[in-house]
Structure 1
Amino acid sequence: MASPSNSGHAEWPSNSLDAAREAFAWLTAGDHPVALDGRLFDHLPNREIPVDELRDLLLRRSCPRRVWDQVWRHVITRSRAEGGTWTIVAVGLALPMLTPMAARLTDRYAGDPADIHAEIVSGFLDALQTVDLTRGRITIRLRWAAYRAGHRALLAALDGPTPKAPGFFSAEPKPPSGHPDLVLARAVEVGVLARTEAEVIAETRLDETPLNEWAAEAEIEFWAAYKMRKRAEHRLAAWLSESADGSHDSDPPSQAVTSQTVPRTASNTAGRSQNVTKKGGGGLSNEPPNSGLQGRG
């Protein structure tokens, strides 16, 4: 593995994601990059594969999801046993999903996003030590752990005042305001939604995670999750509609949340329920997203 150069006195990135990206780049620099034996996995070339090339191979749409699980089991097992290099490899492989997630959570956030980004990375690292490797969809479960950590940090950040320029004072944002995730966070803060309700709306509506996948990970029965989301969306839509002085017209993120969470008509909901039943309990969201290493945020 190449060592960092001391020439130029370059400063180490202060943002956790930028630091992870630079550290991962070191692993692939020089004549002896960190690599995995492709013969250990299905669908991969039968040779030593540098980890940056491995990341690109996993990102291809033609790569079967079972290969993701095979690679992640291998990398996580080595990270737990050896730490150091293989933990950096794990974060580097996850950057295509962590980076857009971080950008979405902190988009239009008035404070310093570095703390929230750090919590996302921390949540991911914690999950590396605890995720069950005997189950499938490892990438999705790692992603959810990172998202939950970032979302908790976002909620905590709302406890403080939002800076208001110009000047040396601050002011609370007029609810609902800001990025759609901030609208949901504010709804939790004022008691319109529970944290779990905000999470299911954010992940299955805004992030397009199929509801059946979210319910399985949350260990909630599918129809219980469906009913919980439906009730929460009714309350959220009513709250947004009743917000003072028509904030939807001047607040596009609030409009976005409303358009994606306003409950459907009874006939449409019934139709979708029938379709789900015929498909054996599939998700109520759109088609399964390009989650995990496909780079969805």
Structure 2
Amino acid sequence: MNTFSKWLERPADAYREWQSFDAAGADRRPFSSRSITQHATMFDRFVRHLTNHRATLATFGAEHLESFFAEVDNRCAPGTTTRIRYAKLVDRLCRHLVEIGVRKGNPAVDFVRNEAWPDDEPQPLFLDQDADERLQAFVQPQPGDPDRECRNRAIVALLLGTGITAAEIRSACTGHLVTDAVRPHVFVPKRVARDERKVTLPGFAVPALKAWRQATLRDDDSLLFPAPRGGKVMNDMLLGLTVRDALEAIDFNAPDMSPRILRNTYARRQLLAGRSNEDVSRLLGLVSQRTVIRLRATLPNAADPLSVAHAT
């Protein structure tokens, strides 16, 4: 199979080969294996969008990019750099496809021209201690909870208690959750650029998760929180509504009411308990300490930026 055909018939393979052997960043240095994995995941999402709109890498146009970026905007919190990272990825891809003859033009150029990295990082959102404690109380199971309420309390308890991501909780299996050990925990498998890890469950999260396990009695390989109908992976919209409903129930409002705010709250709680940037980044499954450094800067009496950046 020649290169042209591979890009149209096996785009994922063609993209990985290009990233591994030919592609380079703005500094002309080859991408790291971690970056290649992240880029490949983003590329796969873009190709799925094209497939859903009956377009290929050779035929998509500006209208497909418009709908794709609208979808990205709907799934990402304001102030993040996700959109610009996708714009740069698609622009780099288009320039390569034009160079090798798969495409005749680059419809991404105008999208990149209109994007710019934010001058300042957005302020991370999190629950203050009072709201954190109210939400911890809210997730405690109540006598007579219907299955839906039992599930929702367990979802919020796991997110608030472990800081795992939306994608990680959606794909978690029943066997990954251990509530009857000396140290209850959730096992998070390796996913894209994040290594596998075990995160200890705090005491407030265990009752809701035990109640959910007892209510469902699923085998270890089944999804921990499947979609209500069909048993497939829960979608982001349902997960987001579950978190939003819980936050509204404790009278908390913020520009971003997604699972991200619970992840930030978990991380900040660990910092307040005295953990180092390195430890908290590891608990979050992150290699970079960038997120944790930003959260540490929100602590009471936080050190100056240079000291924060080097706290370990």
Q: TM-score, normalised by structure 2?
A: 0.21
Higher RCO (C-alpha under 8 Å, 6+ residues apart): 1
The structure in which a higher percent of residues are helix is: 1
